[in-house]
Homo-oligomer: A and B are copies of this chain.
Amino acid sequence: MTLLDRFLAGDRVALAKVISFVEDRSEGYDQLLARIFSGGRRAYRVGLTGPPGAGKSSLVNRLAVLLSDQNLKVGIIAVDPTSPFSGGALLGDRVRMQALYGRQNIFIRSMATRGSSGGLAAATKDVCVVLEGFGFDVILVETVGVGQIELDVASVCDSVVVVFVPESGDSIQAMKSGLMEIADVFCLNKSDRPGAERIKAELESILDVQRQVRSTSRGASSAPWEIPVMQTVAIRDTGISELWSAVERHRLYRNQADPAGYRSVRARSDLVLTLTELANDQLEKTLFDTDHLDRAVEQIVSGHADPYSIARQLFETWRRGRT
């Protein structure tokens, strides 16, 4: 039996191997993905992002158990270097995660953070495709939300939950500048701590202002999605099903608002990501390892050329297939 056969027969060891093969961009990974790709059926991809220490992994943990109890198959992808799923967090956290590993309908995978962020988003998307092909219903993608990466990784998800905590006045600041734009659902975790009500009110007033600005600029079009602010205490399993209901409402909203349009936007962004990755992959394999590049570097170091003109020459030569 080939790896693909075993994969299609539901072998979890084969699943893990296929993911590694795809993640490593091994020769022929895209042909393998082409065969795994399951046209119509798609898992629902939910991104969870937020600052380190917001409790994203605990939330993912609780959501996975909730969905697993509903007989849904749940894939977890951790692209957060501080996540216990990816081995970055304290021992205690990792011990708590052990409970998940025994469940047959939960699969956990951490993504290496090497490569560029764009490459990481493409790899995350591809691992989602593998999990979909294996028959997972929901994929939870955990990523740390304080830089550019969450924007890239969020682009592969259908719904994005932005997680924050009462302590982090900083997080509200961060949200104003980036996270705000990608959030479909806000989740105030550790909401039994002091200041929770205040920070929730603060966030809701920001959302209110945005809503007014939007409704003025867009005119009386179809009702826009109103980003809910949910409250959870993940370690006590409080508010988890309510959080999931909010995600489900967003899913419904997306599908009802413009189902064809949504699928096509999604397909387009996935395709562009795939193309970019393929182009960079080809560049790397056929151009970055040639003598051309070494000679160009010498010219730049010796002051005989500037990198921009050299780059254009190398690129044009490469594109015409002469390297």
Where the two chains meet, the residues of A that have a C-beta atom closer than 8 Å to any C-beta of B are 30-31, 33-34, 37, 39-40, 51-53, 81-82, 86-90, 113, 116-121, 143-144, 146-152, 170, 173-174, 176-178, 260, 263-264, 267-268, 270-272, 274-276, 278-280, 282-283, 287-288, 293, 296-298, 300-301, 303, 306-312, 314-315, 319-321
Apart from A33-B306, A40-B303, A88-B176, 15 more pairs, CB < 8 Å: A30-B308, A30-B309, A34-B306, A37-B308, A39-B300, A51-B52, A81-B146, A81-B147, A116-B117, A117-B117, A147-B148, A260-B301, A271-B293, A274-B311, A275-B315
Please pick, from B90, B307, B319, the residue contacting A270 in the complex, using a CB distance under 8 A.
B307
Chain B proximity of A190: nearest CB distance (Å)? 14
> Complex: how many Å from CA A87 to CA B298?
40
Q: How many copies of this chain does the complex contain?
A: 2
> Complex: how many Å from CA A148 to CA B115?
8
B274 touches A308 (CB 8 A): yes
A321 partner residues in chain B, CB cutoff 8 A: 319-320
A279 touches B118 (CB 8 A): no
A278 touches B149 (CB 8 A): no
B151 touches A149 (CB 8 A): no
Chain B proximity of A142: nearest CB distance (Å)? 12
A82 partner residues in chain B, CB cutoff 8 A: 146, 170, 173-174, 177
Please pick, from B152, B276, B315, the residue contacting A117 in the complex, using a CB distance under 8 A.
B152
> Complex: how many Å from CA A267 to CA B309?
14
A271 partner residues in chain B, CB cutoff 8 A: 293, 296-297, 300, 307, 310-311
Known pairs A81-B177, A119-B118, A282-B315; A267 contacts B300 (CB<8 A): yes
A30 partner residues in chain B, CB cutoff 8 A: 308-309, 311-312
> Complex: how many Å from CA A8 to CA B52?
44
22 contacts between A and B (CB under 8 A): A33-B308, A39-B306, A52-B170, A81-B178, A82-B177, A88-B174, A90-B173, A116-B152, A117-B118, A117-B147, A117-B152, A267-B300, A270-B307, A271-B293, A271-B300, A271-B311, A272-B293, A275-B287, A276-B283, A279-B279, A279-B280, A282-B315
A296 partner residues in chain B, CB cutoff 8 A: 271
A264 touches B298 (CB 8 A): yes
Q: DSSP class of A's interface residues: helix, strand, loop or mixed?
A: helix
A320 partner residues in chain B, CB cutoff 8 A: 321
A86 partner residues in chain B, CB cutoff 8 A: 177
A117 partner residues in chain B, CB cutoff 8 A: 116-118, 147-149, 152
A272 partner residues in chain B, CB cutoff 8 A: 288, 293
> Complex: how many Å from CA A150 to CA B263?
33
A309 touches B176 (CB 8 A): no
A315 partner residues in chain B, CB cutoff 8 A: 275, 278-279, 282
A312 partner residues in chain B, CB cutoff 8 A: 30, 278
Known pairs A283-B279, A311-B278; A303 contacts B39 (CB<8 A): yes
Please pick, from B34, B113, B148, B297, the residue contacting A116 in the complex, using a CB distance under 8 A.
B148
A297 touches B275 (CB 8 A): no
